Structure formats: structure tokens, C-alpha cells
Structure 1
Amino acid sequence: MRTLDAAQIRASFTNVSLRERKAVAIPDLDAVAWDDIDYLGWRDPKMPLVGYVVTIVDDEPIGFLMRQAEQTPLRRTQCVWCADVTLPNEVVMFSTKRAGAAGRRGDTVGTYVCAQFECNRNARSTPRTAYLGFDVEAARQSRIAAFRATVERFARDVGATS
């Protein structure tokens, strides 16, 4: 992902009001390893059920506010984005308003995502060797590509203004 500054991040949010956009708590951008992520995701320190995601789609940053469901899943759930089968962290249901008129009508999209947005790390972890001759690096790159496509598809779905 390319490096973004606070102004670019704030301007990228598609499903928030102007007031909400100004109130977004931006994380420490100097601590972000931009080359190792496909999206920037963080939780709001003042609102524990709110998270933010910014990714690049068609060379433009797209950001959206996500709200965690208050009830946690009854069973361990796999993250839809990184699809990590080892379940190294908690996965929760997030919902987000669609952009534009659809969002103003209350249309939302939901998905199961790593609770603290650990997907970038999980998708890049080295998979276990499945069989003799298994190409671990090819499997890792394939998982990263699938992860990128899933996040981009979700961002496009949120940004669809119909």
C-alpha cells in the first residue's frame, strides 16, 4: 500500500458525514509499515466498537467506518478477509453503511473480520507445509493475492452508490 497522510485518510472516507470525518482518530502514521499492508485498519480509542479501514482501489484511497456487533459470535469464526485457518486472534462481526444515498437509507454491509485488523499480518504468515514438495512461498503469495482481492471487493461493495 502506498503511504498516506492524515488529510488523505480523512478525505478517503466514503460512508461518513463531514462531522464524523473530522472526528476520526488517526493512528500514528509514522509507525505504519506501509510496504507490509494492503489496508490500514485501526480501532477508535474513544469508541471501542468503532473501527476504520482505508485501502487503495483503482489507485485511490477508499476509507470506511465499521461498527462491531455488540454480541460476539457463539463459536470461533474465521476472518472472511484473511481466511487464516489457525485463528490466531478474535474475529468479530463488523457492519458498515454503504456510501451515498444507499447508506443514508440505512443499507449496510457486514462481514467477519479480525477484531484488531490483524489480517495484513495473518495473510503474510508462512503457511505450514502441506505435503512433500509444497511451495510455501507460492502458497503465501496466493493467499496475499486472495486477501487483497477480498478487501478490494468489500471496499467496492461499500463504495457502490446506488
Structure 2
Amino acid sequence: MRPLTEDEVRASFVNVVDEEIRQLQLPHDFLLTDWDHLDFLAWRDPEVRGRGYVVTEQDGKPLGVALRAASTTSRARSGMCDICHTLQPADQVSLFTARKAGDAGAHGDSVGTYICADLSCHENVRLAAPLAPSEMRASVDRRIDGARRRTERFVERVLA
């Protein structure tokens, strides 16, 4: 992912209103971001409980989506992240929803998916060994490419 400025990140969001963009808190370590090792930028808002953000790059343009984490946790013992395909304890995977962009979002339409609760998918796919015995072994490069593609598809669903 190419390096982005704070202004570029704020301008990238497709499903928020101006007031939400002003309140958006970037990660505390934003200025130290190692852009060469990111396929997408994802973080939890340090100030607003349950809020998260994902920024991808499509056709050279950054596209950001604001997310809302479910307030309840699953009773299941484990859960699979739909982005990094990592099997984790259920309390470490959360349902995130995103208001759709445009008129659909203004009318309350949203999309959702299960994502690592701390939005650390870009780190999880870089682990050489699977985190659980039932996970399929895949090369790190394939895991990285898969997570990037699935993140882009989720952002596309928000735009549709």
C-alpha cells in the first residue's frame, strides 16, 4: 500500500458524514506506519468504543469504510475471521457492520462480516504457521493476497 497522509485517510471514507470524519481518531502510531508491509490499513478507534476503520487501495485510490462492532459476543467456542481466515477463540472475532455508501446507507442499509476483533488481520496472515490445528496450511503470500482481496470485496459491497 502506498503511504497515505492523514488528510488522504480522512478523505477516503465512503460511508461517513462530515461530522464523523472530524471525530475520527487515527491510530496513535499512525506516523510510524510501515506502509511497505500493509495491504490495507485497519484499526479500532481509540476514543469510540465499538468503532473501527478499514482503508484499502483500489485503482490507486484509497477507499475507507467505517465499521461498527457488535456489542455482544458469540456463545461459540471459536470463530473464523472472514478477512484473514484465521480460526480464533470466539471473543477474538466480532461481527462488524458498515453502513452502505450513498442513498442506501442514508436509508439504513448495511453490510456485515466477521473480522478479528482487534482488526489485526494484516498481521495474522503474515504468521508462517497456522494458529489452530484445523486451519489449512497455505503459503504466507497466498494468505496475504487472499486477505487483501477479501478486504477489497467487503469495501466493494459497501459501495454497491
What corresponds to 2:100 in structure 1? 98
TM-score normalised over the length of structure 1: 0.87
1:36-51 pair list within 5 angstroms: 36-51=37-52
Residue 48 of structure 1 deviates from its aligned partner by: 1.3
The alignment's C-alpha RMSD in Å is 1.6
Query: For residues 49-99 of structure 1, what are the alpha-carbon distances to aligned partners after superposition, in whole Å with 9 as ceiling and x for unaligned?
Result: 1111111112110111100111111112110000013x2781111001010
Supply the distance in 1 between the matched residues of 2:141 and 2:25 (Cα, whole angstroms).
Answer: 32
Q: Which moved more, 1:87-96 or 1:63-72?
A: 87-96
SS of the equivalent of 1:146 reads helix
What corresponds to 2:151 in structure 1? 151
What corresponds to 2:18 in structure 1? 18
Structure 1 spans left out of the alignment, 5+ residues: 129-135
Aligned amino acid, residue 81 of structure 1 = I
What corresponds to 1:131 in structure 2? none
Supply the distance in 2 between the matched residues of 1:35 and 1:115 (Cα, whole angstroms).
Answer: 24
What corresponds to 2:56 in structure 1? 55
Residue 15 of structure 1 deviates from its aligned partner by: 0.2
Find the structure with the greater CA-based Rg. 1
Aligned residues: 151
Supply the distance in 2 between the matched residues of 1:145 and 1:52 (Cα, whole angstroms).
Answer: 20
Identical-pair percentage: 40
Q: 4+ runs of 1 displaced by more than 2 Å?
A: none
